[in-house]
């Protein structure tokens, strides 16, 4: 936003200078028209003189007036050329500034869009994280219940002693394996004796 404001201020300054130069150009053109009117007035004045006087006066006056007018015209044309050159440069600068403003605005829009997408992804990840935590808590709760049931079933058999402290998973597996092995041995013994 700061870059756009700066570019707009520069563009307003350039356009102000452009208007000033155009105003000066119009003033120079007005001065040229006034000189042409004066020249026409002098020409009309000489028309009222006699032919001989007119020729003499015209020759002197026209030569002087021509020199003056040629100098003025040359200066005016030089100034107009400079003004036209400056106008062209300023117009190019204004066009460039406008293009920069458009480019900057497009970049800002792209950044805002990217920010929205990142925000949306972050919210989706947060929602997914929450769902994962809920699922993990549910699974952990089920696992603990299942583990408790296994411990209860393992140590509720005849001849088993209740654990004096909290058991590790390895200790629970070891106790279960012991029960399984004992049952298998008992089954083998029954088969050996011929009993069902």
Q: pLDDT tens digits for 6-25?
A: 878 888 888 888 888 888 88
Q: pLDDT tens digits for 20-54?
A: 888 888 888 888 888 888 888 877 776 666 666 65
Same domain? 131 vs 49? no
**Which tokens in the block code for residue 95?**
């066009």
Domain that holds residue 73: 10-119
d(CA 170, CA 116): 50
Section 69-80 average pLDDT = 85
Same domain? 46 vs 133? no
CB atoms within 10 A of CB 7: 20
For residue 34, give Cα distances in angstroms to 37, 42, 44, 69, 81: 5, 12, 15, 12, 20
Does residue 3 lie in a domain region?
no
**Which tokens in the block code for residue 65?**
């007036």
Same domain? 36 vs 112? yes
Q: Which of 53, 71, 52 lies closest to 63 in space, CA to CA?
A: 71
d(CA 93, CA 69): 35
Same domain? 108 vs 30? yes
**Which tokens in the block code for residue 5?**
């404001």
Section 129-151 average pLDDT = 90
Higher pLDDT, 134 or 179: 134
For residue 55, give Cα distances in angstroms to 47, 64, 67: 10, 14, 18
Q: Whole-model pTM?
A: 0.40
Q: Which of 196, 191, 7, 6 lies closest to 99 in space, CA to CA?
A: 7
Res 102 pLDDT > 80:
yes
Same domain? 106 vs 143? no
Q: What is the DSSP letter of 166?
A: P
- Final residue of a structural domain among 70, 93, 119: 119
Residue 175 — pLDDT band, cuts 50, 70, 90?
confident
Q: How many helices (H) and strands (E) in the chain?
A: 3, 0
Domain count, the chain: 2
């Amino acid at each position: 936003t700061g870059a756009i404001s700066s570019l707009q201020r520069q563009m307003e300054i350039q356009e102000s200078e452009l208007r000033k130069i155009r105003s000066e150009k119009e003033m120079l053109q007005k001065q040229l028209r006034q000189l042409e009117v004066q020249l026409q007035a002098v020409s009309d004045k000489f028309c009222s003189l006699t032919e001989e006087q007119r020729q003499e006066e015209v020759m002197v006056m026209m030569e002087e007036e021509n020199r003056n007018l040629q100098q003025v015209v040359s200066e005016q044309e030089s100034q107009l050329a400079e003004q036209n050159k400056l106008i062209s440069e300023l117009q190019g600068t204004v066009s460039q500034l406008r293009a920069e403003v458009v480019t900057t605005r497009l970049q800002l829009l792209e950044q805002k869009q990217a920010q929205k997408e990142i925000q949306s992804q972050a919210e989706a990840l947060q929602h997914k994280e929450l769902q994962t935590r809920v699922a993990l808590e549910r699974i952990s709760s089920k696992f603990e219940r299942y583990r408790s049931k296994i411990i209860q079933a393992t140590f509720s058999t005849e001849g088993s002693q209740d654990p004096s402290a909290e058991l590790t998973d390895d200790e629970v597996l070891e106790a279960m394996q012991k029960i399984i092995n004992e049952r298998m041995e008992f089954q083998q013994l029954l088969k050996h004796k011929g009993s069902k």
